[in-house]
Amino acid sequence: METLMLNAYDNEDIRRAGELLRQGGVVAIPTETVYGLAADATSGTAVERIFQAKGRPQDNPMIVHIASMEDLPPLVEQVSPAAEKLARLFWPGPLTMVFRKSGRVPEIVTAGLDTVAIRMPQHPSARAVIEAAQAPLAAPSANRSGKPSPTEARHVMADMKGLIEAVVDGGECEVGVESTVVDMTGPVARVLRPGAVTPEQIRQALGRVEVDDAVFRKVDDSQPVRSPGMKYRHYAPRAPLTLFVGAPDVTARAIEQEMQPHDAVLCFDEYHDFYDDEKGPVRTYGPSSDKQAQAHQLFAALRELDETSCQRILAQAPRPFGEGLAVSNRIQKAAGFETVRPAKAVVAGVTGTSGSGKSSVGACLRDMGWQVIDADLVYHQLLMLDRNLTATVLNQFPQVAGADGNVDRKALGEIVFEDRSAMRRLNAITHPAVKREILRRIRVLTSQGCRRIGLDVPLLYESGLDHVCDFVVGVVAPEPAREERIVRRDGISPEQARARLAAQPDREFYEALCDILIENDGDRQALRQSLEQEMAQAMKETE
């Protein structure tokens, strides 16, 4: 069979795709997550052909794709208020919901289950093809069984050429990992497969959410599985993949030590030049703190490494938080949940703007048995004890020399808080020194047997110390509360406090970069409670 390459942005090609589907054909379509291998979901014979093309075991059910809310009721027994709410919030988009199925869905689509998974994709071409086909479309990811999901049309062609009628080329998929699958048939929504819609977002919408255990660990054959897809060794590259879990700097070094000739490395952008690419291929998959970039690139990277002759793949694990949970889950599956954890201690960064209450979080962590290194304190101590540092600072800022030969910190603070370029010059001197000292203290604490270390660092990302953290807690608080705290703490005017806050990153900065966000509205007990919850969850995901 000749497999046509169609253009996702050409109306005539969309019409052609619809026609092929109406005739019972199989057509690969772009979606915002990954490419899907589509057939008319209401036709058992059409769906049968998907199984043949994929080489997929017949007991793995498929997702049915719809283009409008009216398509939903005929396919399911009922739509609960919770499901309606999630649909309103996240459809069209990368969310799949599992419902009790109606008699209209053929057995073969659901592999005999009495439930059906349904998703309304956002990709305009996916929706146009569904409309042109005039039917809901059953579509698993368009890879041959056991291969990473395709995120580009050429990936689909590589797997499906000659096996299906057509591939609709819509370029690279924006998200890059498959949709979040959430089971809505029980009393509490349950995430069966993590994706771009996070458990946190679902909890915010519904009040409660559960995450299936199979997301975190291997399910053995004896256990009942809620989502049959969980038990297959999906996304598996040809060469065995070993995942190095922990802070990026730590895993990068461990991989460098482990790397032998013919090994491939899959690492974050920052670490590309760390490795000897004479030994084997080195492929990056986004910056260490950019989960969206990692999701977007992971499968293409795995496919690329698959085409090399490498014997092993050594990979840096992504941070399993927020959208990173989906990336972590996919790469964990590719590794068969085989992980190496080089560091003995877990290092948690704590950051946020002035007045957000980082030190309250630090104090809570101490109460919870963590050793906390306070970067401001380290800086103050260094300015008193490190003669080299003092000399360099005084050389740049001679006007802040105190009578005792030390740096007058208050005078220095007044200068740099008024003048951004002065602040930059000071940071260029102090950040490396503070960072060195913090790294030394981490080593000392670890060698003393400490297993949990918190780093309270206002400029964690700016100083690059996020790279030594297993995960980062961002502390955020409403602007008026922060202003009030700074005024009280530092004895400055509200105007000065506002100016200081204006020079710092905003809430979005922390939302985008941090793994865990803690709201601090001033209630110490509530803070302690949410911190305990989040840290327990985070430890479960990192250890």
> Is there binding between residue 192 and ligand TXA (CB under 6 A)?
yes
Q: Using CA atoms, how far apart are residues 470 and 485, in angstroms rounded to an integer?
A: 29
Q: Please, what's the largest Cα pairwise distance for the chain?
A: 89
When binding is defined by CB under 6 A, the residue of 98, 130, 400, 497 that contacts ligand TXA is 98
Report the relative pairing of strands 312-316 and 263-267 from DSSP bridges. parallel
Q: How many residues does the chain have?
A: 543
Choices 176-184, 271-279, 474-482, 505-513; region in contact with ligand TXA by CB under 6 A: 176-184
CB 133 within 8 A of CB 234: no
CB nearer to ligand TXA: pick between 193 and 303: 193
**Side-by-side strand order, sheet with 263-267:** 282-284, 263-267, 312-316, 241-244, 339-340
Question: x/- string (CB under 6 A) for ligand TXA, residues 395-434?
Answer: ----------------------------------------
Choices 138-146, 286-294, 318-326, 416-424; region in contact with Mg ion by CB under 5 A: 138-146
Q: Token pair for residue 445?
A: 């604490």
The sign of the dihedral angle between the CA atoms of 385, 388, 394, 397 is negative
CB nearer to ligand TXA: pick between 174 and 541: 174
> Is there binding between residue 115 and ligand TXA (CB under 6 A)?
yes
> Is there binding between residue 110 and Mg ion (CB under 5 A)?
no
The Cβ-side half-sphere exposure at 485, using a 13 Å CA radius, reads 19
Choices 106-114, 135-143, 277-285, 474-482; region in contact with Mg ion by CB under 5 A: 135-143
Q: Using CA atoms, how far apart are residues 125 and 14, in angstroms rounded to an integer?
A: 8
CB nearer to ligand TXA: pick between 113 and 501: 113
Question: x/- string (CB under 6 A) for ligand TXA, residues 126-145?
Answer: -------------xxx----
Distances in Å between the alpha carbon of 59 and those of 108, 302, 336, 459?
9, 26, 21, 51
Residue of 542, 539, 519, 514 whose CA lies nearest to 529: 519
Name the residue whose CB lies closest to Mg ion: 141
**Residue 139, contacted partner among ligand TXA, Mg ion, none, CB below 5-8 A by kind:** ligand TXA
Q: Using CA atoms, how far apart are residues 474 and 351, in angstroms rounded to an integer?
A: 5
When binding is defined by CB under 6 A, the residue of 14, 27, 34, 517 that contacts ligand TXA is 34
DSSP label at residue 318: P
Within 8 A by CB and 6+ apart from 403, the residues are none
**Residue 193, contacted partner among Mg ion, ligand TXA, none, CB below 5-8 A by kind:** ligand TXA
Q: At what angle do helices 291-306 and 153-160 cross, to 10 degrees?
A: 30
When binding is defined by CB under 6 A, the residue of 25, 30, 36, 106 that contacts ligand TXA is 36
Q: Using CA atoms, how far apart are residues 27 and 242, in angstroms rounded to an integer?
A: 35
Nearest distance from residue 112's CB to Mg ion, in Å? Answer: 19
SS3 35: coil
When binding is defined by CB under 6 A, the residue of 14, 39, 86, 116 that contacts ligand TXA is 116
> Is there binding between residue 60 and Mg ion (CB under 5 A)?
no
Hey, which residues between 316 and 335 contact Mg ion (CB under 5 A)? none
Q: Using CA atoms, how far apart are residues 349 and 138, in angstroms rounded to an integer?
A: 44
Nearest distance from residue 360's CB to Mg ion, in Å? Answer: 44
Nearest distance from residue 192's CB to ligand TXA, in Å? Answer: 6
When binding is defined by CB under 6 A, the residue of 16, 27, 31, 382 that contacts ligand TXA is 31
CB nearer to ligand TXA: pick between 37 and 206: 37
Concatenated DSSP letters of 332-398: HHHTTT-EE---SSEEEEEE-STTS-HHHHHHHHHHTT-EEEEHHHHHHHHHHH-HHHHHHHHHH-G
Nearest distance from residue 148's CB to ligand TXA, in Å? Answer: 11
Nearest distance from residue 109's CB to ligand TXA, in Å? Answer: 8
Within 8 A by CB and 6+ apart from 463, the residues are 427, 431, 434, 435, 457
Beta bridge partners of 396: none
Nearest distance from residue 175's CB to ligand TXA, in Å? Answer: 8
**Residue 36, contacted partner among Mg ion, ligand TXA, none, CB below 5-8 A by kind:** ligand TXA
Nearest distance from residue 21's CB to Mg ion, in Å? Answer: 20
CB 120 within 8 A of CB 94: no
Nearest distance from residue 214's CB to Mg ion, in Å? Answer: 15
**Residue 115, contacted partner among Mg ion, ligand TXA, none, CB below 5-8 A by kind:** ligand TXA
Nearest distance from residue 149's CB to Mg ion, in Å? Answer: 5
Concatenated DSSP letters of 72-125: SGGGBS---HHHHHHHHHH-SSSEEEEEEB-TTS-HHHHTT-SEEEEE----HH
> Is there binding between residue 284 and ligand TXA (CB under 6 A)?
no
CB nearer to ligand TXA: pick between 295 and 434: 295
When binding is defined by CB under 5 A, the residue of 141, 329, 356, 360 that contacts Mg ion is 141
Question: x/- string (CB under 6 A) for ligand TXA, residues 198-237?
Answer: ----------------------------xxxx--------
Nearest distance from residue 40's CB to ligand TXA, in Å? Answer: 15
When binding is defined by CB under 6 A, the residue of 42, 179, 332, 360 that contacts ligand TXA is 179
Burial of residue 260 (number of CB atoms within 10 Å: 0-12, 13-18, 19+): exposed
Number of residues that bind ligand TXA (CB under 6 A): 28
Binding site for Mg ion (CB under 5 A): 141
Binding site for ligand TXA (CB under 6 A): 31, 33-34, 36, 60-63, 96, 98, 110, 113, 115-117, 119, 139-141, 178-179, 181, 192-193, 226-229
